[in-house]
Amino acid sequence: MISQSAKGLLNRVHDSVVFGRRVKVLSQALAAAIPTGGSVLDLGCGDGQVAVGLMALRPDLAVEGVDVLLRPVTHIPVTLYDGASLPFADESFDYVTIVDVLHHTDDPAAVLAEASRVARRGVVVKDHLRKGVLAGPTLRLMDWVGNRGHDVRLPYNYLDAGQWATAFERAGLAKASWADALGLYGAPLNWLFERKLHFVALLKPVERGSFSQPVG
């Protein structure tokens, strides 16, 4: 168990060292990954700060959130959901973003399939790749520091490249772009915590055609 005062201290340290840069970098990475304007559902949006940063960079995007937990303060409209079935009709949004959510789930492919169902044009995923020396323990440490103070569920479900490929296929999604040099940490933290352990991928629904412009 960890006390409320310890959680508060953990959150303050994380916010001062990591969170501000993280919001900026992730907003930029998502803005670069989404090829066209439109409506966006931020699945597992937290307090919505990344979504706000994304809209500042991309005024052609309108973002709302959905999450299993409602934070005391949110910066975008947020709908609660049960973690299994999104409360939206098929193809309700142009895009769905999923930022550091799937490794908190037991079945990432099932969550991806729901995202694909409600997305007309694509799904953008930011998550972790379990690759390299001590990747698992390193990711567990990052996850604990960033989330334990918010009582986020921590199953530490990190996938390797083959497992991600299988999850995308099960969800009916095809990889359209992949970026793994995000710059989330400055030196010297980047030497330990970057190492291509993070990626942003643009995925397109296999059965619903392609984007209106090429994607690298």
Tell whether the torsion through CA atoms of 19, 25, 27 and 29 is positive or negative. Answer: negative
* For range 125-142, the mean pLDDT: 94
- The residues near 190 (Cβ < 8 Å, ≥ 6 apart) are 183, 184
Q: For the chain, how many residues are written? A: 216
* pLDDT for the residue numbered 152: 74
The string of pLDDT tens digits covering residues 83-122 is 999 999 999 999 999 999 999 999 999 999 999 999 999 9
Please report the beta strands in the chain, taking only residues with DSSP state E, as ranges in sequence order: 38-43, 61-67, 78-80, 93-99, 119-128, 173-179, 198-205
User: Taking the domains of the chain in order of start, what are their residue ranges?
Assistant: 4-207
Residues paired with residue 79 on neighbouring β-strands, in sequence order: 66
The string of pLDDT tens digits covering residues 70-80 is 999 999 999 99
Confidence of residue 211 (pLDDT cuts 50, 70, 90): very low
C-alpha to C-alpha distance for 138 and 128, rounded to whole angstroms: 11
What CATH architecture applies to the domain 4-207?
A: 3-Layer(aba) Sandwich (3.40)
The string of pLDDT tens digits covering residues 37-63 is 999 999 999 999 999 999 999 999 999
Q: Find where tokens 């079945």 sit.
A: 107
